[in-house]
Chain A
Amino acid sequence: MKNFLYLICLLSFCFGGCDSKIRVENTRGQPTLMEDPQTTGAVAGVGVESQDIISITDKMMRDILATSAITQHPEPPRVVIDSSYFRNESSSVINKNLFTDRLRIELNRAAAGKMVFLARHQSGMTENEYKLEQEEVVTEGTQGETKQALGYDYRLGGRIASLDMVDPKKGTMSRYHQITFELIERGSGVIVWSNIYELKKSAQDDIIYR
């Protein structure tokens, strides 16, 4: 009987001690990790991500370079690629400049003089300098008098639209994006090039969040 009591007491101490808690999770954290922007990262949802932007702009760039109506001019056409006429009508919060900057820079590098790109997104820079030169505040550059800003031949327009679907029973969310790009001729409004890119993602949160 005594031994039984001693055993119970010993077990009680063990149970009492075993249930000690760690108040704060003592994780070491994670050191800085370089991730490939062309792959899905550690943080991912159903919106537009880095790998989508890279994939879309690469495809558009190759397609524009393959369009002879743009690249086979006797004189290289002037093209404006910025986000002024690129609308986001989707449910993804996006900085549109991520698309247009990448497209413009990659095209500029790959076009090898077949197209000339105008920096309309930096128009304030050239206008201010021109004004200062006219007011004789600054001298002209080593290349001669400051040139007047050039007009463009083609300008980029486009739209990002999306369609969302949810399954309330399973807690699954799905988003379809449709991204359209068009190069529009100045004056006539003719669409000389266009392309469309589609992507669809679906995901389901862990059960503890449903």
Chain B
Amino acid sequence: MKNNISKLICSTILIILFAAVVCDAYWKSNKPNNATFNGISALDNKSKSMKLDSHILCSNETDQESIKVLEESYKKLEVSPIESRPRYAAEIGICALLSNDVNLAENALDYSITNIENITTAGVREQKVTSTKGSEEQKIFKGEPHEKVMVYLYRGMLYMAKGDYENSQACFKNAALQDALAANESDRSNWLTIDLLQLVCKRLMKDSDEKDFETYIRQKYSGETALIEPMLNCLEPNLVILVSVGRVPEKIASDSHGQTLAYSNSDSIIHTVCLTTNQGTLVLSETDDLYVQATSRGKRKMDDILAQKANKRKTIEAVGDAAAAAAPLVPGGIALCLVKELSWSASDGIKSSADCRTIRSIGQKLYLFIGNKFQLGQPLKLQAINVDKEVIAEKTIKIDNGSSVPTVIVGRVPY
């Protein structure tokens, strides 16, 4: 009788323990933050069918529907998690720019840029991130180099559209600097889009070293002369069109414990972006591929820290696995099973996954056109075409030829 009671007590305790472990695993699962962030969730993955989402910056044409959502989202920025605010600000800023809400785009992108430029030294948060209990997602988001470049790029486009060519050039210079820390020298500051836009700024400012910079671009991108020649030969640029195509390279926490940051390449169905004018069809040059830029930056220091955490996890798990293997063979095997559960629980407590937060609005490939609007006539039709020469998205654009500042058009095709 006594024996039965003790067996019953042991079984009950084991069941309760099992339930506790299951509950523990459930609570450890990643739950989305409860702050209402309808703007981002509404815009994420939302695509406009068959319309090339583009606007002339600073014109009267705006996307009011999106702007309402974005403004609401921006108001809620201060109640969102502090570690993700710069990312949300960048998303809102880029979406606002694509909707032609220039003021909101400026404020939101400046918020993100202030965070990028702020030099962060080791504080409580940073120490926690590198500790075994902290995860990389707890760090305040600054973005990987390709994301920082895009934030500066779009901010520079806004300055250019407003006629502030000096600050526009400063943004493009900063964009180039974000890519200056790549592991291989040939991969440093190699964004053709940035260099061409910087040349446009120099020409608009009538800078004395504009010719030298043109020569520098010709030498640096000597293998792509056919691609860039028409843009380099445009000495009086007053029309700039930038279209981003495809989905941003997705970040993946790869390897056994997610300790290595990798990217997945989702090929866009768009093969060409064209501009149809009275004088014929001009093809926009594909100037940059964000997947190539993202994967060529080299290894991060954080990858080493995450690898050390992953090694600790492997050691702890090995103890647990050994205990589990020995459980059927020795008396008190139940205790060894519990040791295994404890080991795995302790291993799960060490956060070794790479940070997969990403700015989704930036797309994968960039297509650029630099020209003179007076030579092209009106109207202009911007088209995104697939490999079978089918038009996937298009938009007719009417340009104000009376404006003294250059016409800057920014577009996005998320397919």
Contact = CB atoms under 8 A, between A and B. Distances in A.
A and B: partners?
Answer: yes
A206 B121 contact: yes
Interface stretch (A2-10, A51-59, A117-125): A2-10
Contacts of B6: 2
Given A5-B335, A12-B338, A209-B142, A93 B345 contact: no
A46 B177 CA distance: 12
A204 B119 contact: yes
A148 interface: no
Contacts of B311: none
A2 B334 CA distance: 12
Contacts of B346: 15
Interface string A154-168: 000000000010101
B302 A208 contact: yes
Interface string B63-105: 0000000000000000001110000000000000000000000
Contacts of A27: 82
Interface in A193-210: 203-210
A196 to B, nearest CB: 19
Contacts of A1: 332
A136 B302 CA distance: 72
Interface stretch (B25-33, B227-235, B366-374): B25-33
Q: Which of B207, B335, B341 has the most CB of A within 10 A?
A: B335
Contacts of A166: 177, 180-181
A208 B129 contact: yes
Given A4-B335, A93-B171, A210 B300 contact: yes
B81 A208 contact: no
B177 A173 contact: yes
Most buried by B among A11, A91, A171: A91
A124 B170 CA distance: 29
Interface in A17-38: 19-21, 23-25, 27
A186 interface: no
B301 to A, nearest CB: 4
Interface stretch (A67-75, A82-90, A138-146): A82-90
Given A88-B167, A168-B180, A15 B345 contact: yes
The interface centre, meaning the residue of B10, B181, B305, B332 with most chain A CB atoms within 10 A of its CB, is B181
A112 interface: no
A208 B27 contact: no
A16 B345 contact: yes
A61 B76 CA distance: 44
Given A21-B28, A207-B302, A208-B126, A12 B177 contact: no
Interface string B237-278: 000000000000000000000000000000000000000000
Contact of B10 (A5, A44, A45, A88): A5
Contacts of B21: 12, 16
A94 interface: yes
A96 B20 CA distance: 62
**Interface extent on B, as a size class?**
35 or more
A83 B326 CA distance: 79
Contacts of B17: 9, 12-13
Nearest to B334: A5
B118 A9 contact: no
A13 B23 CA distance: 12
B75 to A, nearest CB: 17
Given A171-B181, A208-B302, A209-B142, A9 B338 contact: yes
B30 to A, nearest CB: 10
A8 B335 CA distance: 7
Given A12-B342, A207-B305, A93 B20 contact: no
Given A12-B20, A208-B301, A44 B118 contact: yes
Interface in A148-185: 164, 166, 168, 171, 173
A206 B126 contact: yes
B45 interface: no
A94 B170 contact: yes
Interface in B289-307: 300-302, 305
Contacts of B349: 19
Contact of A168 (B181, B338, B345): B181
Closest 6 CB pairs of A and B: A91-B173, A45-B117, A203-B119, A88-B166, A210-B301, A166-B180
Interface of B: 6, 10, 13, 17, 20-21, 23-24, 27-28, 31, 33, 81-83, 113-114, 117-122, 126, 129-130, 136, 138-139, 142, 159, 166-167, 169-171, 173-174, 177, 180-183, 188, 205, 207, 300-302, 305, 332, 334-335, 338-339, 341-342, 345-346, 348-349
5 contacts: A8-B338, A9-B17, A45-B117, A91-B173, A209-B302
Interface of A: 1-2, 4-6, 8-9, 11-13, 15-16, 19-21, 23-25, 27, 43-47, 87-94, 96, 164, 166, 168, 171, 173, 203-210
Given A13-B20, A96-B166, A168-B182, 14 more contacts: A8-B338, A8-B339, A12-B21, A16-B24, A21-B28, A24-B81, A43-B114, A87-B166, A89-B166, A90-B170, A93-B167, A93-B170, A164-B180, A171-B301
